[in-house]
Each structure stands twice: as structure tokens, then as C-alpha cells.
């Protein structure tokens, strides 16, 4: 059952959406700690987020940016704002769709089902994990585990490791990695790539896998 996190500070609207999701056999999660939504997000690991823009403390744009540092999960903005700039900003922050209040529940569910078909169908055809030398990359959760320890990856870290594992034993150039990240609508330059590789390596070192990613000077990176 797919989990949908509802981030809406109007309890009536949140409850109506949750009830509708239940009828469609989804597992709704109604957010309530609007100061620490990132913690609720990580604790619940939803498959999709419905995110209002006007929220207490920090707005939806802020939280979308936070979530995008943690996960590729689809995000649908729901808001009473209707200016083109609001929609453009929502998309630029990493949103996947935008629906204006008041909205039809049928239209909302159509959008949710369309995103699940587009985003998750490929995962049903692939394994939901990749394994190498005892390390497991959880494709469905965006995390890595080794023995009984598990760590979450950021969006960039996940995509880099996924590409290297997919092409393990082959050298993957820095340009190829940056191109893969660019095609996923996540801009990254050469210096940023270096930082992300370093962060990924530090997480692997926590498992004792110090040499998991090998640097090939002037060529790129390889996992053997």
C-alpha cells in the first residue's frame, strides 16, 4: 500500500483528503508537526507528498527544498495561490505537479494515480535493491545498508551510487555522472560532484567500506 503524506494545516481539508485516499486503498499520513516536517518525512518515508504552500513557520517552498535534499519522492503542491509565478516556483523547487484550491477530489486522485503509474511502474519491473560486496542499495527507500546498519542517502548520493553500481567494474566518467544528474532535472557542477562523492564515501566509510568507490585519475570512478 502506497503511503501519501498530507501536509496541510487546515485539519478539515487534510481529513477530507485522507478519507478519500483511504477509499482508494492508499495509506494517508497527516502531518501535524509543522516545525519539524523533515523529521516526520524521514520517519514515515512516504511514496508521495501533498504539500500546501501556505504553512505555519516555513512555507511549502522551503519544505520542498528540504525534502529534495533527502529524497526523489514525488511532490504535488496544493494551494489557493494561482499566479503563474507560484506554479513556476513550485516546479523549480522540485514539485512534480500543482493543483489549485478549491479542487475536485476526482481530479486530485487522477493526478496522484498518474504520478504513481509514471514514477513507480518501472520499480515493479526492477529489483527494489542492488547488492555488491555485502552493501545493499535500497532503490525503493533511497538508502544503503551493510549487515544490520542502514543509512539514508540524499538525492544526489543515491543517483551517483545507483549509476556506479549499475555499471560496476566499468569506469564511469565525471561527465557521465553529471549528465545523468542533469537529465534528472538536478543541476550539478564539477565542484558539487566532488562534494557529493566525498559525502557518499564518508557514509560508506561508516560501514568500513573505505575503498568501495575507486578514483581513476583523469578518467572517473569505478566500483569493483
From CA 76, how far away is CA 186, in angstroms rounded? 18
Q: Say whether both 28 and 103 belong to one domain.
A: yes
Which residues make Cβ contacts (< 8 Å) with residue 216, sequence separation at least 6?
171, 222
Helix axes 37-44, 60-70, angle to 10 degrees: 40
Residues 166 and 98 in one domain: no
Interaxial angle between packed helices 190-206 and 155-166, expressed in degrees from 0 to 180 and rounded to the nearest 10: 80
Indicate the residue among 108, 125, 142 that finishes a domain: 125
pTM to 2 decimals?
0.55
| pLDDT for the residue 116 | 86
Rounded to an integer, what distance in angstroms lies between the CA atom of residue 109 and that of residue 113? 6
pLDDT at 161: 95
Domain containing 33 equals: 3-125
- CATH no. for residue 162? 1.10.10.10
pLDDT score of 124: 46
CA-to-CA distance for 7 and 49, rounded, in angstroms?
7
Q: Which residues of the chain have pLDDT under 50?
A: 123-125, 185
State the number of CA atoms in the 13 A half-sphere of 102 facing the CB: 3
User: Does 12 share its domain with 115?
Assistant: yes
Amino acid at each position: 500500500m502506497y503511503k501519501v503524506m498530507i501536509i496541510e494545516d487546515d485539519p478539515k481539508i487534510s481529513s477530507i483528503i485522507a478519507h478519500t485516499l483511504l477509499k482508494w486503498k492508499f495509506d494517508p499520513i497527516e502531518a501535524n508537526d509543522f516545525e519539524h516536517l523533515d523529521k516526520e518525512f524521514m520517519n514515515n518515508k512516504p511514496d508521495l507528498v501533498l504539500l500546501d504552500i501556505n504553512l505555519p513557520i516555513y512555507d511549502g517552498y522551503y519544505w520542498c527544498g528540504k525534502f529534495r535534499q533527502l529524497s526523489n519522492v514525488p511532490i504535488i503542491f496544493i494551494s489557493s495561490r494561482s499566479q503563474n509565478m507560484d506554479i513556476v516556483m513550485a516546479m523549480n523547487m522540485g514539485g512534480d505537479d500543482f493543483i489549485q484550491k478549491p479542487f475536485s477530489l476526482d481530479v486530485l486522485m487522477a493526478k496522484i494515480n498518474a504520478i504513481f503509474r509514471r514514477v513507480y511502474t518501472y520499480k515493479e519491473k526492477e529489483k527494489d535493491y542492488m547488492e555488491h560486496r555485502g552493501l545493499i542499495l535500497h532503490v525503493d527507500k533511497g538508502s544503503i545498508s551493510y549487515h544490520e546498519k542502514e543509512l539514508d542517502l540524499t538525492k544526489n548520493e543515491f543517483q551517483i551510487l545507483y549509476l556506479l553500481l549499475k555499471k560496476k567494474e566499468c569506469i564511469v566518467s565525471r561527465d557521465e555522472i553529471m549528465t545523468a544528474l542533469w537529465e534528472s532535472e538536478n543541476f550539478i557542477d564539477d565542484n558539487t560532484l566532488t562534494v557529493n562523492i566525498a559525502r557518499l564515501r564518508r557514509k560508506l566509510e561508516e560501514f568500513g567500506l573505505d575503498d568501495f568507490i575507486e578514483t581513476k585519475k583523469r578518467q572517473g570512478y569505478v566500483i569493483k
